[in-house]
Structure 1
Amino acid sequence: MKAICATDLSAASEAMIESETCLECLGRIGVEEIHLVTVIPANVHAGMPGMDFEGRRERALARYRRVIEEAGFDVETHVVRGTPHRRINGVAEAVGASLTIVGSRGKSPLENRVIGSTARNLARTTVVPLLVNRIERGAEDPDVLREHLFRRVLYATDFSENAERAFDAFSYLRHATREATLIHVQTPKDPDLPDDGSPAERLAELAGRLDEWGIEPETEVRRGDPSEEILAAEAEYEPTIVLLGSRGHSRLRRLLLGSVSEDVVARADGNVMLVPPSRVA
């Protein structure tokens, strides 16, 4: 499996790349080759006063490459120019990556929690599963907030096709996952579900599949606003990662109210993994 690791050469990116436990988790789920991608914004020029972009980039990439190679991965580096999320998606498609990883700061000191524009734009447009690795905020030498990326998974489903696609990620995550909490949030605005069992019964069926893989499952049906309830479940269960599809049932509702997945990425305390719909040629 190939993974894209997007870096802006910041301290947050360094924390993500140099976390031994994060690299170990990637190895456990089958990642063998990591492509380091750094994007130079089109409005940044090497000759700008006081900016040693070339030297800084070369030193950082060389250090990152050495760390990742010592962890046992094959490494390729890509330095590209343009709009970050578009170029990251482009490299992911070009190399046939199965996962994109981006570091993001944690809680903002302001009341609203924010993430960088690149992580937010990737959440909207990613072409492969996206892992947002949350990093400490406000520290000179930051660290990742949740080690052992996939040990405790909170999986949120609306039983849509894309939610099922996200569940399929357990086929490789299971090699690093010990526990999983499966939740469904009921809301009056949801479309009618197929007549093949109640939400509790459908969650129990999914839990049975995880149990066969040696993952200890727990299920819960909640009521209310999907984003708020998923975030409340994250605070309650303290998973190492939240797993969900990046699209749900209603496209119109997403356009009017915003994507639940994007909201979770923006406001979650810890790591989030988004699985996009399959692409039709």
Structure 2
Amino acid sequence: MRAVFATDLSDAIEAAISSRTCLECLERYGIDEFDLITVTSPNVTVGMPGSDVGGRTKKGLARQQRLLEEEGFTVNTHVMRGTPHRRINGLADRIDADLIIVGSRGQSPLEQRFIGGTARNVARTSVRPLLLQRIVEGDDDHEVANEHLFERVLYATDFSENAERAFEQFDNLTEATKEATLLHVAPPERRAGSNEEAVADAEERLEALAEQLEAKGIDTRVLVREGEATEEILAVEKEVQPTTILMGSRGRSPMRRLLLGSVSEEVTAKANCNVLLVPPTRVR
């Protein structure tokens, strides 16, 4: 399997590329080939007097390529100019990538965490599974938030077709996932007792999915919560401490290029762990 790995050649991204544990998780997912891509601004002129942007870019990319190759991966490198999310998605489409990986850092420790512009825009427009890998600032340097990327997975589902497609990711996660929590958030109903039947039905459907994962050797539990979807998903994240949240992303309008649904976007922005987003089949 082939993954596009977006890099800005920063210490933060190098922390992810240097983590042997992260790379082993991606290998168990099925990745054996990486396409490292860095995108430079079209406003930067490589040939400007006194500027060595091109040289520094090639040197940094070669260093990260070497780190991946030392772990046994096949690595291709790409330096492009333009809008980052368009170049990243364009490359993924051209090589028929199985996964896109983008590092995500909070913009402000004083406010609610929001993913950076490139990560957000890739998430909104990608038509391929996207792993947003959390990178945090440590005492002296950056480090990945969860080295064991897929060890504990929180799968949030509304039982839509797109959510079912996201569940299919467990076919790739079998070798990497030890524990899974299956979550459905039922919206609160105004009529007293009207949600009891819906909750019971959701529990039954989650149990059926859990049986499939148990058969794969994944320790699984199911949860049905009532309330606002984003709040409940983030509350369960805090409770079960997953390494990755798995969910589908849905476009707001079939007439426009894919945009994250409001729940997907808020969870992606505010979660502390990694997020694996799976877009609808129809947009590919």
When normalised by structure 1's length, the TM-score is: 0.91
Determine what percentage of the aligned residue pairs are the same residue.
Answer: 59
Residue 279 of structure 1, CA deviation: 3.9
CA distance in 1, matches of 2:140, 2:239: 29
1:208 aligns with 2:239: no
Residue 258 of structure 1, CA deviation: 5.1
CA distance in 2, matches of 1:219, 1:263: 22
CA distance in 2, matches of 1:224, 1:107: 28
Question: Pick from 226, 230, 234: which aligns with 1:231?
Answer: 234
Change (3 A) 1:256 1:102: closer
SS at structure 2 position matched to 1:228: helix
Structure 1, residues 226-270: CA drift from partner, whole Å, max 9, x if none? 11111111111110100000128x759xx9995211111111111
Which residue in 2 is equivalent to 1:94?
94
What is the identity, as a one-letter code, of the residue corresponding to 1:177? T
CA distance in 2, matches of 1:182, 1:231: 14
Which residue in 2 is equivalent to 1:52?
52
CA distance in 1, matches of 2:130, 2:148: 17
Structure 1 contact 107–137 (Cα < 8 Å) conserved: no
CA distance in 2, matches of 1:45, 1:240: 40
In structure 2, list runs of 5 or more residues that go unmatched: 190-194
CA distance in 1, matches of 2:12, 2:280: 29
Residue 56 of structure 1, CA deviation: 1.5
CA distance in 2, matches of 1:160, 1:50: 55
When normalised by structure 2's length, the TM-score is: 0.90
Which is further off, 49-58 or 130-139? 49-58
Change (3 A) 1:168 1:147: same
CA distance in 2, matches of 1:94, 1:257: 22
Which residue in 1 is equivalent to 2:72?
72
Residue 48 of structure 1, CA deviation: 5.6
Which residue in 1 is equivalent to 2:165?
165
In structure 1, list runs of 5 or more residues that go unmatched: none
CA distance in 1, matches of 2:262, 2:253: 9
Please, what is the CA RMSD of the aligned residues? 2.6
CA distance in 1, matches of 2:7, 2:122: 13
Structure 1 contact 107–269 (Cα < 8 Å) conserved: no
1:242 aligns with 2:254: no
SS at structure 1 position matched to 2:275: strand
Residue 45 of structure 1, CA deviation: 2.4
Which is further off, 211-220 or 35-44? 35-44
Change (3 A) 1:280 1:262: closer
SS at structure 1 position matched to 2:123: helix
What is the identity, as a one-letter code, of the residue corresponding to 2:27? G
Which residue in 2 is equivalent to 1:105?
105
What is the identity, as a one-letter code, of the residue corresponding to 1:158? D
Residue 137 of structure 1, CA deviation: 3.0
Structure 1 contact 104–134 (Cα < 8 Å) conserved: yes
Structure 1 contact 150–241 (Cα < 8 Å) conserved: yes
Residue 188 of structure 1, CA deviation: 4.5
CA distance in 2, matches of 1:175, 1:100: 19
